[in-house]
Each structure stands twice: as C-alpha cells, then as structure tokens.
Amino acid sequence: LNKSDSKLIMSFMWVTFISLLIGGLMGLLQTLVRTGNFTLPFGIGYYQILTVHGVILGLVLTTFFIIGFQFALMAKTVGMTSKQRKWGWASFWVMLIGTTASAIMILLGKASVLYTFYAPLKAHPIFYFGLTFVIIGSWIACFVNFRQLYKWKKEHPGEHSPLLAFMVVINMLMWFICTLGVAATVLIQFIPWSLGLVGSMNILLSRTLFWYFGHPLVYFWLLPAYMAWYAILPKIIGGKIFSDSLARLAFILFLIFSIPVGFHHQLLEPGIDPMWKYIQVVLTFAVIIPSLLTAFSMFATFEITGRQKGYTGLFGWLRHLPWKDVRFFAPFMGMVAFIPAGAGGIINASNQMNQVVHNTIWVTGHFHLTLATTVILTFFGISYWLVPVLTGRKIDKKINTLGMTQTIVWLVGMFFMSGSMHLAGLLGAPRRSAFSDYQGSAQAAEWIGYQYGQAIGGSILFIGILIMLYNFFYMTFKAPKGVEEFPIAEAPTGTEPTPIVLENWRLWIGITVVLIAFAYTIPFVDIIQNSPPGSPPFEWPIGNN
Ligand code: HAS
C-alpha cells in the first residue's frame, strides 16, 4: 500500500481504537453497577453509559474498522486512484462529524435511547442527524468500493474479480440495501417527530424498519471476519484457499438471505401476522447455511494444509497450525467461540425458545460471543499485520507474545462475562436494566451471583482492552521499521474454474430485491394500515438511572 492509502486507512484505525477505550470503559462501569455495590458518580445515568457503550462499540468501532479494512483490501487487490482516495477521505470526515455530533448528545444526557433508539424513547434531533451523517459517510465508501471494482473489471475484461474485492462489494451492497430501512425511519419518522413537527409516530413501523436494517447489520460485522478467514488465514498457515467458488457462494447467500429476516427480533411483538414471522424464521434458518459452509471450508483448509505438510492421523493435522502466531491464534479462537455463539443464535431464532430468552440478558450474552468475541478477536488478529503494514513497521516477538496474552485474557474475561449472562438470562434476568432486587424477590436473588460473574469478566476484559491499546500504540510508533507481509492466500490449483454466474450481479441483486419484497410488502402494508394511533414521545420512563 502506498503512503497516501495508508494514511487514510490509519485514520479509520485511530477512531477504532479510541472507540475501544471509551466504549470498553463504559462496559466496565455497567457491569460494576449491576453488582449493586457501585453507584455512578456526578449524576451520570445508567442508560447514558449503556447508550455510549452500544453506540460507540456496536456502531462506531465496527463501522470505522470495517470501512478502513475494506479500503485496505480494495487498494491491495484492485487499486485506489487519487480521486477514489479523496472520496475515501470525504467518507471518513462525514462519518466522523456524524459520530461526534451523536456522541456529544449522548454525553450531555440528551440521547439516552440505547443503540437501537426504539421509539417512543426520544433523543435530541442532533443525535438523529449525527446518525444520518454516519450512514451517508458509509454510503460514500460503498460507492467508492463499487467504483474501484467496476474500473478494475473494465481494465481486465473476462477475468474474475479478485476474491477479496468481490467479498467487499457484496458486503457493501448488503449494507447499502439494508441502511435504506434505517435511513427511512430516521428521516421520515424520527427527525420530524423529535423536532416537534409531528405529534406522534407509528412505533411498530419504526421498529420494523430498524430490524430490516438491524439483522443485516450483524452480518456487516461478520463478513469482514469471514473475508479474513477465507482469504487471509490460509496464507498465514501456509496453505491455499479451500474453494474460490464456495467462498463466493457463501457471500452471495449472505446477500440474499441476510435482509428478509428482521422479524426474528420481533417474534414477541404484537401487530405482526404470525404467518410472516414464520416465513422470516424459515429464511433465518436459510441464512445459517453460509455459516455452516464456512465452518466446513475452514476445517477443510486446516486439514488439507496439515496433510500436505505430512501430518497424519485423524486429528494429527491440527498440530501443524501456527499456534504461536497471533495473526492466526486470535482469529482462530474467534472461530472456536463461534461454535457455541452460532448455536445460541439458532436457539434465539427458534420461535418457542425465543419466548424464554427474549429481552433477557441471554441475548446480551449471545452478542458478546458473536460480535465481541468472534468478530472482535478476528479484527484484533487482522490489526497485528494491518497496522504494521500501514505504519511501515514489522510485528516483532514482543508484540506477538503480548497479542497472544491479550487473546487469552479476552477469552477468559468473555468466558466469565458472557457465560454469566447466558445463565442469568435462562433464570429470567432482564437485559438493559440497572441493579434492582425487585423488592426482595426470590427470583432476582438467584441472579446476583451471575451479576458478580459479569463484573469479574468485565474487569478482566478491561485489562484486555488496555493491553490491546498498548499493542496498537506500539505497532504505530515503536515496532521495528520494516516491511510486513499483507497476507493474501492464493486460489487452489487444478480445481474446476469458478462459474461465471457467481459474478452475475444483476441476478443476485434481483433475487435479493424480490425476496425482500416478498417478505416485507404485505407486513408493511398491514402495519401502515392497521397500527394503533401513534404514540407521543416520552422521556426515559424510570428516571435517568
Ligand atoms: Fe444474533 C440477537 C439469531 C448470528 C449479533 N444477535 C442478536 C443481537 C445481536 C446479534 C447484536 O433469531 C441483539 C440485538 C438486540 O440488541 O436486540 N444470530 C442469530 C442467528 C445467527 C446469529 C440465527 N448474531 C449473529 C452474529 C452476530 C449477532 C454473527 C454479530 C456479529 N440473534 C439471533 C436472534 C436474535 C439475535 C433470533 C434476537 C433475539 C431476541 O429475542 O431479541 C446465525 O448467523 C449463527 C450461525 C452460526 C453458526 C456457527 C458456524 C461456526 C463457524 C465456526 C467454525 C469453527 C472452526 C474452528 C472451523 C451456525 C463458522 C474450530 C476448530 C476446532 C479445532 C474446534
């Protein structure tokens, strides 16, 4: 990567790691409040810090890291012109302005609406304008990426696009289509309502538009991790991609099935016809398939590479893996965590079991295993080569050892925190609530041990954040100068060529649109025609703590 590209991508990395510190600190405070033995100072509200935590880690850190990482992949595989780079900067600044505006409103206590900003909770209009800017900034990045691949294809007629560029474009297509939903609710519903231009709004419509966006959002986080698993890890372990076609097919399936599934977040919501909930649950089970393809593909890559290196026996090939290389170890542990995490997702998606876990802290446990372990450990693993590539330095033994330690600290912390969340959730502990003994209820007394478990895990995780920040600073300013490898694996040789149909964008976008129209048109008409009169706004109902 040239210096100008590196500077742009490093700016995204800086926002990522600053967000990690701020958001992580808020997470620690939350777990402490929930033990019942800690009160927030200076009149700071519990929902204020919970909103900072969710918005900064769930929306800001992820979006900045992903867009920066994807720019790196595109610059490396299909190139970046100076004009595209300028637009890349525009995307960065628009997103940063939006983030800052929303963050100020949250910190002032004027937007304690949590990261899902469900109506009728109302935030200051600037909070919604800030979110709009973040989305517009990310759209600029989408179009830069589309343009990059389009230009490359023009210059390489008849050739398959590089796998990583193909994956980035799929992710950004999915992002663009799904953010239309959240943009619609923010612009048409939230902004006029928060400005006082209209007195009420259709709550069910806003929540449905949010979840039309909210579920693909989780795959927007996951797919960059999958990019690293499919196309970067094989290089790090000294092997090749298992199958170029399979990898592309998995990404296409994500594009098609990620969006028409939002109702699995609304299974307990009245006002949506159960038939449509059923259809979207079936589609949810379809979106599990590309993850199962990924699991198969990963095992195959590890086994084939091991056997090629001469390791034998049923599991002997496991020994060849570079266990002491943090670039492999951190993402690999993320993969391992995804086995129980994915099983938890399947439980959530099953209608009857969802009745048990919905709105309990089990769900929080689920996304700390998926997002905060699988995805984040993969992002950390990527940082150990990407940041040195960007800063013209090399990963050395010290940072490798610290990285391995960081990964283990993270896993231990998450074992306690997410484990306690899952168990307390099964005992009925609600998510999104500060400490209460619920008037001495016997049921609530059962949760307290797990709440301490969460605080222990949260404290260990905060140590993990401090180590990661040190690692980031070290890789930026201190690591020895040199040329670090940008590891991109080669496609396997001697296999069937990748079918051309996999790059038929019109076909895949067409199917995606048809499926969305099928899953959402009748429910939307129903929601618009039959919802009860809209609700007026109200401030957080139980005070600000
Ligand atoms: Fe989820 C709620 C269903 C995946 C994130 N999810 C959430 C929320 C978040 C979230 C943030 O159906 C909370 C939203 C809120 O605030 O209300 N989720 C699923 C399903 C999947 C799933 C079916 N979720 C994710 C991922 C996330 C994420 C990924 C973030 C990155 N989720 C739900 C549902 C709810 C929900 C309901 C609503 C609950 C409610 O009631 O509110 C699936 O995509 C999971 C499929 C995954 C697998 C695992 C495959 C395993 C692999 C690893 C292989 C390992 C190897 C290494 C090769 C089937 C690929 C092993 C080597 C060895 C040697 C062992």
Distance CA 365, CA 450 (A): 12
pTM of the model: 0.95
> 29 with 62: CB under 8 angstroms?
no
Distance CA 233, CA 488 (A): 8
Q: Hey, is 81 helix, strand or coil?
A: coil
For tokens 């920040």, the residue is 469
Bridge partners for 373 per DSSP: none
Distance CA 174, CA 68 (A): 17
Task: Quote the DSSP letter at residue 489.
Answer: P
- Over residues 88-125, the pLDDT tens digits come to 999 999 999 999 999 999 999 899 999 999 988 899 99
Query: Does ligand 1 lie within 6 Å of residue 381's CB atom?
Result: no
Say how many C-beta atoms besides its own lie within 10 A of residue 44's C-beta: 17
Least confident of 240-249, 309-318, 535-544: 535-544
Bridge partners for 538 per DSSP: 121
Q: Does the pLDDT at position 541 exceed 60?
A: no
> 44 with 106: CB under 8 angstroms?
no
> 527 with 367: CB under 8 angstroms?
no
- Most confident segment among 283-292, 429-438, 447-456, 520-529: 283-292
- Where does 358-483 have alpha helices with state H? 361-369, 376-391, 397-426, 442-445, 448-473
Catalytic pick among 147, 307, 432, 524: 432
- Pick the closest to residue 152 from 132, 173, 168, 140 (CA basis): 168
Q: What is the CATH number of domain 3-493+510-530?
A: 1.20.210.10
Catalytic pick among 12, 302, 367, 472: 367
> 320 with 306: CB under 8 angstroms?
yes
Query: Does ligand 1 lie within 6 Å of residue 298's CB atom?
Result: yes
For tokens 């231990």, the residue is 412
DSSP for 202-247, please give it: -HHHHHHHHHHHHHHHHHHHHHHHHHHHHHTHHHHTT---S-HHHH
- Over residues 264-292, the pLDDT tens digits come to 999 999 889 999 999 999 999 999 999 99
ipTM of this complex: 0.97
Active site (annotated) includes residue 366 = yes
Instruction: Quote the pLDDT of residue 543.
Output: 41
For ligand 1, atom 51: residue with the closest CA: 339
Query: Does ligand 1 lie within 6 Å of residue 542's CB atom?
Result: no
